[in-house]
A = this chain, B = another copy of it.
Amino acid sequence: MTVTIYDVAREARVSMATVSRVVNGNQNVKPETRNKVNEVIKKLNYRPNAVARGLASKRTTTVGVIIPDISNVYYSQLARGLEDIATMYKYHSIISNSDNDPEKEKEIFNNLLSKQVDGIIFLGGTISEEIKELINQSSVPVVVSGTNGKDDHVASVNIDFEKAAQEVTQHLIDQGAKKFALVGGDYSKKAQEDVLDGLNTVLSDNNLILEDALHLTGAESYKEGMKVFDEMKDNLPDAVLSISDEQAIGVLHGALDSGIKVPEDLQIVSFNNTRLVEMVRPQLSSVIQPLYDIGAVGMRLLTKYMNEEEIEEPNVILPHRIEYRGTTK
């Protein structure tokens, strides 16, 4: 029923080895033979069985993607970048949602290995000890996109959150901000630490401090953002740095709904820069992370590992910009 390499060989009066060579673009085939084989392939509508190929060659041209939540705008934009480059290099992607749960991440990781993927892209704001160990013992290359893996000796692609935070903080101070809040999230522990460092550096340079009560976290959703705003309502800051856009928008609407003027009384800057930032009024000022590129460069890096190309730098830092829109003065 299904056409196999053997059928093609018989019909073309060559051996299956020759058909295999033609299919794989091996140059050691006489042009005539090649043509004949290609004709038969077309005639029989032969399509190589990737599974058999994978078993024989030990390469599946499939990569695994571990992602916290594909319906999260931030991650889905990364995913699109990943996927486009994977396609460009003829890889398919198996995508699995981890909800940022170390147990699930571990299980997915092992499942991917048993599927014999050629490489794995890990997305997630936190590299847990378990995952770190799995990565370092992995038989296939792993690249982290969106989080810095340098300290954990893991190849990665991201932006310099600390520097971005410094720039943002200084700008806000220049605009008169004195009392800051930091709104972090469960998804992005690493980025949060970096932002915190950057924020604190500049604050102390200016003889300011971040009150403990104004260092808040939430699940990085819109609703959580509104909740976070409630928590700081009685001790209102005049500037908020938020890791997540959705959460920042929650804070923004919480403020507006309470009659607080943005940006006059409260300035807000977010660090995600999903397409949401332009879709609210006032538009959200944000650090521009090149999300698509972070995904794309991560996948490109992975292909280099998979092809055993030379790697100049395993921890890529992509440039960022800051766009001051309607939520800052």
Chain B residues with CB below 8 A from A54, complex form = 51
**If the complex has contacts A94-B94, A115-B51, are A77 and B71 also in contact, measured as CB distance less than 8 A?**
yes
Chain B residues with CB below 8 A from A161, complex form = none
Q: Are the CB atoms of A51 and B55 closer together than 8 Å? A: yes
Q: Looking at chain A, what size class is its interface with the partner chain?
A: 35 or more
Chain B residues with CB below 8 A from A115, complex form = 50-51, 62, 92
Instruction: Tell me if A83 counts as interface (CB < 8 A to partner B).
Output: yes
**If the complex has contacts A51-B116, A55-B52, A73-B73, are A92 and B83 also in contact, measured as CB distance less than 8 A?**
no
Q: Are the CB atoms of A70 and B80 closer together than 8 Å? A: yes
Instruction: Tell me if A69 counts as interface (CB < 8 A to partner B).
Output: yes
Chain B residues with CB below 8 A from A278, complex form = 222
Chain B residues with CB below 8 A from A110, complex form = 47
**Once bound together, how far apart are the Cα atoms of A47 and B71, in whole Å?**
31
- Secondary structure dominating the interface of A: helix
Tally of this chain's copies: 2
Q: Are the CB atoms of A95 and B83 closer together than 8 Å? A: yes
Q: Are the CB atoms of B94 and A50 closer together than 8 Å? A: no
Instruction: Tell me if A49 counts as interface (CB < 8 A to partner B).
Output: yes
B76, B79, B279: the one within 8 Å of A222 (CB): B279
Instruction: Tell me if A200 counts as interface (CB < 8 A to partner B).
Output: no
Instruction: Tell me if A48 counts as interface (CB < 8 A to partner B).
Output: yes
B2, B84, B281: the one within 8 Å of A97 (CB): B84
A65-112 residues with Cβ-Cβ distance < 8 A to B are 69-73, 76-77, 79-80, 83-84, 87, 92-97, 110-111
Q: Are the CB atoms of A114 and B50 closer together than 8 Å? A: yes
